[in-house]
């Protein structure tokens, strides 16, 4: 592992959390949007993370450790084909429009987007849930920033020696 791996991990985490905060902010801002260019009410954006398979020294060491363990019971260690050689912590981030067709209807007969019965289709976005998502993302962002700062200080001290 090189000196800059921790920088890459923290920077990736910062980027992922920024994308999640952007999606959450868009959800909060559009919680009452009834008309979009695509048609219909705004659809909630959902951010998902997926780890990329590990490569290099860590994956090799993990694989060696798994094969050297003695199996005393078939339930203790799963077969090799069900355990990956390791996961690298740099996530791949995707923000997608929710596939959920959930909308809520409110009676607003004077609204320009009301149907014949006076009901308006609004996005089914819970502001409290979005605020929890935002606070969680902010905390994870702060943790990654702290880890990046600690790695930077360690590298600086190593150079001072």
Tell me the pLDDT tens digit for each residue of 141-150: 999 999 999 9
Q: What are the residues whose beta carbons fall under 8 Å from the beta carbon of 78, sequence distance 6 or more?
A: none
What whole-number distance in Å separates Cα of residue 9 and Cα of residue 90?
6
Average pLDDT over residues 89-95: 61
pTM exceeding 0.85: no
Q: What are the residues whose beta carbons fall under 8 Å from the beta carbon of 98, sequence distance 6 or more?
A: 43, 44, 45, 46
Dihedral of the alpha carbons of 91, 94, 95, 97, in degrees to the nearest 10: -140
Q: Report percent pLDDT > 90 for the chain.
A: 30
pLDDT (0 to 100) of residue 19: 92
Written as six digits, the tokens of 157 are: 């001290």
Question: Which among 50-59, 113-122, 132-141 has the top mean pLDDT?
Answer: 132-141
Average pLDDT over residues 113-132: 91
Q: What is the pLDDT of residues 15-59, one digit of tens each?
A: 999 999 999 999 999 999 988 888 889 888 888 887 766 666 667
Domain-by-domain residue ranges, the chain?
Answer: 5-31+45-97+125-160
What whole-number distance in Å separates Cα of residue 41 and Cα of residue 96?
16
**Would you place residue 86 in the very low, low, confident or very high pLDDT band (cuts 50, 70, 90)?**
very low
pLDDT (0 to 100) of residue 103: 85
The number of angstroms, rounded, from the C-alpha of 137 to the middle of its chain's C-alpha atoms is: 8
Average pLDDT over residues 59-85: 56
Q: Give me the phi and psi of 139, to 5 degrees please.
A: -65, -40
**Residue 22 is inside which H or E element, if any?**
helix 5-29
């Amino acid at each position: 592992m090189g000196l800059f791996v921790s920088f890459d991990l923290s920077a990736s985490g910062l980027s992922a959390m920024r994308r999640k905060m952007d999606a959450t902010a868009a959800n909060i801002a559009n919680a009452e949007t009834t008309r979009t260019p695509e048609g219909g009410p705004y659809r909630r954006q959902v951010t998902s993370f997926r780890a990329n398979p590990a490569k290099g020294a860590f994956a090799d060491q993990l694989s060696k450790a798994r094969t050297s363990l003695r199996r005393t019971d078939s339930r203790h260690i799963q077969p090799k084909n069900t355990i990956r050689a390791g996961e690298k912590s740099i996530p791949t981030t995707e923000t997608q429009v929710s596939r959920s067709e959930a909308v809520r209807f409110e009676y607003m007969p004077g609204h320009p987007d009301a149907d014949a019965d006076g009901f308006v289709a609004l996005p089914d976005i819970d502001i409290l849930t979005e605020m929890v998502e935002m606070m969680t993302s902010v905390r994870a962002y702060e943790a990654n920033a702290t880890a990046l700062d600690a790695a930077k200080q360690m590298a600086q001290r190593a150079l001072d020696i």
